[in-house]
A and B are shown apart, each in its own frame.
Chain A
């Protein structure tokens, strides 16, 4: 009996060692990013391992804050993500309501069509969309990376919200109907207040996706004063430079990832569950 208990303790210990080791490996790039941002250029290029800088310096942060283009791209990212998210969230909520709370002819067909668009890779559409936005004179503006979302962009997110909305008992809107409420009132005043958790999940995915997006901003924001963070930060590293300013690049990287970390920290209990439901990234 005692032997069994000891064996169990050893087994647990081994598991914890493995899990901790994996955690260290997985979060190592994050540690290295922060550590490197506090180093001098010599330390980032040193032949020996410098785990943490001997004399941490905030010089890289001072440099990056003085870079007007970086500050501008930070503002650009915040602006574009905020404006894109508002419209995308509201339109997704409206469409999810149509698919879950209203009976209308053709609903199943349209729903099936929507699900099947998940198979179309967004990149397969970039070439014709570029031509379209070019005709509208939208190349070189924020419009092409904001406006498509307003048309309920994101089939997986509509699906996620629809599943949650469909679980609300029908009696709720029926009694509201009796009181003379319209569909718009029911949507906004009865259903939406119950959707806080799924909306939080969707907002997180939207935020992460938009904050990290590179391909579309790269194609459409052609001047440095419009660059979003991922586009601008990628220009800091340039293969033709003889010495890469690694501490500055890493300071920019830390500042870029801080919003992601904050959002993930608060939303992780929502997202970890819904990833499985929809296979969202």
Chain B
């Protein structure tokens, strides 16, 4: 059947609006009837009707798009359901979960990769965000413009178009980043040592994490045996499994604008009197930062850490753009959501995919729960 896809979409949208209006009205009538039965006054009945009428789009959407999918995916996660086969799903108990945790290499790699991003990437990202926030907080003229420039990557960052630009810049041979590194090394030899030291450290840590995910530390031994990198070495951004995650870290650091704004708000909330009093007592700016600002920012640091961790689990676009179809690199870079997409939609194994979704959901709920529990210990000062 040939039909116009745009007309079709508009028609369905109109249908959805009618559905929403009807269910909203129905919910409103039902709620006010319930209120009437309980003997509420006319005023309360009217408010009950209006409240449910206006809130109904969310309530109905919550049931259709959240509750029902969650219940079904919980059920499917215990079955071998596949969307293509017409057989009814067979109950398999905990098989999907035990396969994921015990036998699935891809899943383990995605967890280890997230761990790498959390252990090495997040501290870098948070430090850069904090540094930028401290610089902006000096209240110089033009602060707005700088703030805009630092936040812009968040707006652009996850569009595939911009990610492709990064792909171009990260080319090992001709990419601009490596060309700048080469140029600086030639012009300024100490920079070369710095570069090589950074490469060495990065490759050792990356090989260590790859070792955890394979259970095989040969690569780590090789990197250590090869010793300090040669003079001509440059990072192998999107070419080597040792560097695939570092490229993602680079993108995370570039997109630190949200974290920066949160730090900036925190810095603004620190009472000026504290720094003034410290100044009178003869504390240096450096000391003031470590002894006053940083402790008072601790809730913000913790918030950014938790949100950053959840975001690392969910990274999808950069990996899709940088490593899609690049078989050898994919395992070294995938996030949990990328793995979910790969596992569910290449073979349409709905049962298995549902089990992955539930594990991701549980991890995120646990992290959030820990955040709430730890907050009391971290919040040193009530800022709001």
Contacts and interface: CB of A to CB of B under 8 A. Distances in A.
A27 B9 contact: no
Contacts of A254: 161
Contacts of B307: 279
A214 B157 CA distance: 12
B61 A152 contact: yes
Q: How large is the interface on A (under 10, 10 to 19, 20 to 34, 35 or more residues)?
A: 35 or more
Nearest to A236: B164
Interface residues of B, number: 105
Nearest to A271: B151
Contact of A23 (B6, B66, B149): B149
A127 B73 contact: yes
Contact of A151 (B57, B70, B174, B262): B57
B169 A151 contact: no
Nearest to A123: B337
B224 interface: no
B156 A30 contact: yes
Interface in B54-72: 54-55, 57-62, 64-66, 68-70, 72
B53 to A, nearest CB: 8
A153 B61 contact: yes
Interface in A1-49: 12, 15-16, 18-19, 22-23, 26-27, 29-30, 32-33, 36, 44-49
A19 B137 CA distance: 11
Contact of A104 (B47, B70, B150, B354): B47
B138 interface: yes
A99 interface: yes
Contacts of A23: 145-146, 149-150
A253 B161 contact: yes
Interface string B164-192: 11111100011010011001000000000
A272 B151 contact: yes
Interface stretch (B193-201, B274-282, B360-368): B360-368
Interface stretch (B97-105, B209-217, B315-323): B315-323
Which 5 A/B pairs are nearest by Cβ-Cβ distance?
A: A151-B61, A104-B51, A98-B54, A253-B161, A128-B69
Interface of B: 5-6, 8-10, 12-13, 16-17, 20, 31, 35, 44, 47-48, 50-55, 57-62, 64-66, 68-70, 72-73, 76, 83, 132, 135-136, 138, 140, 145-156, 158-162, 164-169, 173-174, 176, 179-180, 183, 254, 258, 261-262, 264-265, 303, 307, 310, 313-314, 316-317, 320-321, 324-326, 337, 340-341, 344-345, 350, 353-354, 356-358, 360-361, 364-365, 368
Interface of A: 12, 15-16, 18-19, 22-23, 26-27, 29-30, 32-33, 36, 44-49, 79-80, 83, 87, 91, 94-95, 97-99, 102-107, 110, 113-114, 117, 119-121, 123-132, 134, 138, 141-143, 146-148, 150-153, 158, 183, 187, 208, 211-212, 214-215, 218-219, 225-226, 229-231, 233-234, 236-240, 244, 246, 249-250, 252-254, 256-257, 260-261, 264, 268, 272, 275-276, 279-281
27 contacts: A15-B135, A26-B150, A27-B149, A32-B165, A79-B6, A79-B9, A80-B9, A91-B20, A94-B55, A94-B57, A98-B53, A103-B51, A119-B368, A128-B72, A128-B354, A146-B13, A148-B61, A151-B60, A219-B345, A226-B5, A230-B160, A249-B168, A257-B162, A260-B155, A260-B159, A264-B148, A280-B258
